[in-house]
């Protein structure tokens, strides 16, 4: 399978805490800095699971952008898109099997449709991050990418990403995208409202629901849930619910969003 993901390429700073931070004091933590961003995560997991994977996004002309490109290339991901501005950074605080994210998307939302090359979307599946529909001009780039991918016969999938993104403008962009497959939590699905598509409802430790059937999560020692939903998405696109849940379990058992 050839998968292309469009959206954010960000630097993830993962901070694992054994206890809540102490205000005004020092708290020991285990910290990692690695490539991240929803689109990049899906592409990295797709490559790890055997797909030909590409991520399309705008990254900064800085050391963090260089790190992202090298890290993804080492994982077998083709990195495409313009370079300019400042690379975004996401700080993920992981504690007690849960995580809190602090996001600065940098220049990622500035991706313009005129900066795309049609050859990037010669694929079997185009996966669109919901963050790509939240702001302009990247929302227009995502629509152009979907049109180009469909010319090659590709399936278009979308992850709603966060219920807080859902506005009337976001709903219009989703309707215009007309995704074949939508990944969402129950909260995200309910926030969006009715949409003619195949839904994959992600339930965290409860597994997933698709086509009216519940699939339980696989047992895992949960270390960090950052990126588990992206791993599930990549696995589902390549091999259905079983592979999706297997990838999510693998992701939860380690620190970081990528394999």
Q: Is residue 50 part of a domain?
A: yes
pLDDT at residue 26, as a whole number: 84
Of residues 222 and 53, more confidently modeled? 53
Residue 199 has phi, psi (to 5 degrees) of: -105, 135
Mean pLDDT, the chain, rounded, equals 92
For the packed helices 228-239 and 38-48, what is the interaxial angle rounded to 10 degrees? 50
Q: Is residue 216 part of a domain?
A: yes
Which residues lie closer than 8 Å to 172 by C-beta, 6 or more apart?
Answer: none
Q: Is residue 120 part of a domain?
A: yes
Residue 6 has phi, psi (to 5 degrees) of: -120, 135
Q: Is residue 230 part of a domain?
A: yes
Give the CATH number, domain containing residue 175: 3.40.1190.20
Would you say residue 97 has pLDDT above 60? no
pLDDT at residue 241, as a whole number: 97
pLDDT at residue 208, as a whole number: 96
Q: Is residue 157 part of a domain?
A: yes
Alpha carbon 80 to its chain centroid, in Å, reads 16
**Distance from C-alpha of 174 to C-alpha of 166, rounded to nearest angstrom:** 10
The residue segments making up the domain with residue 228 are 2-6+38-87+106-252
Q: Where does the pLDDT of residue 35 fall: very low under 50, low under 70, confident under 90, or very high at 90 and above?
A: confident
Give the global pTM: 0.92
Q: Is residue 147 part of a domain?
A: yes
Q: Is residue 143 part of a domain?
A: yes
Task: Give the residue from 15, 134, 8 showing the smallest Cα distance to 59.
Answer: 8
Would you say residue 94 has pLDDT above 90? no
Number of domains in the chain: 1
Task: Give the residue from 163, 153, 81 showing the smallest Cα distance to 117.
Answer: 81
pLDDT at residue 123, as a whole number: 98
Q: Where does the pLDDT of residue 246 fall: very low under 50, low under 70, confident under 90, or very high at 90 and above?
A: very high
Would you say residue 96 has pLDDT above 70? no
pLDDT at residue 148, as a whole number: 98
Q: Is residue 138 part of a domain?
A: yes
Q: Tens digits of per-residue pLDDT, 116-142?
A: 999 999 999 999 999 999 999 999 999
Would you say residue 77 has pLDDT above 80? yes
Q: Tens digits of per-residue pLDDT, 142-164?
A: 999 999 999 999 999 999 999 99
């Amino acid at each position: 399978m050839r998968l292309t993901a469009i959206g954010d390429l960000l630097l993830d700073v993962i901070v694992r805490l054994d206890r809540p931070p102490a205000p005004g004091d020092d708290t020991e933590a285990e910290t990692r800095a690695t490539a991240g961003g929803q689109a990049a995560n899906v592409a990295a997991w797709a490559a790890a699971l055997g797909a030909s994977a590409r991520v399309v996004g705008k990254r900064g002309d800085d050391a963090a952008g260089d790190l992202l490109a090298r890290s993804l290339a080492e994982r077998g991901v083709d990195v495409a898109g313009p370079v300019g501005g400042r690379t975004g950074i996401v700080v993920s605080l992981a504690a007690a099997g849960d995580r809190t994210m602090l996001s600065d998307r940098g220049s990622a939302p500035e991706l313009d449709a005129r900066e795309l090359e049609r050859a990037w979307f010669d694929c079997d599946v185009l996966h669109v991050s919901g963050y790509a529909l939240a702001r302009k001009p990247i929302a227009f780039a995502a629509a152009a990418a979907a049109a180009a991918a469909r010319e090659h016969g590709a399936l278009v999938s979308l992850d709603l990403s966060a219920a807080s993104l859902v506005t009337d403008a976001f709903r219009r962009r989703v309707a215009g995208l007309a995704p074949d497959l939508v990944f969402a939590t129950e909260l995200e699905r309910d926030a969006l409202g009715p949409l003619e598509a195949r839904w994959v409802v992600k339930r965290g430790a409860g597994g997933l629901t698709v086509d009216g059937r519940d699939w339980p999560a696989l047992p895992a020692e949960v270390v960090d849930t950052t990126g588990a939903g992206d791993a599930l998405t990549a696995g589902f696109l390549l091999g259905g619910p079983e592979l999706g849940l297997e990838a999510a379990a693998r992701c939860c058992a380690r620190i970081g969003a990528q394999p």
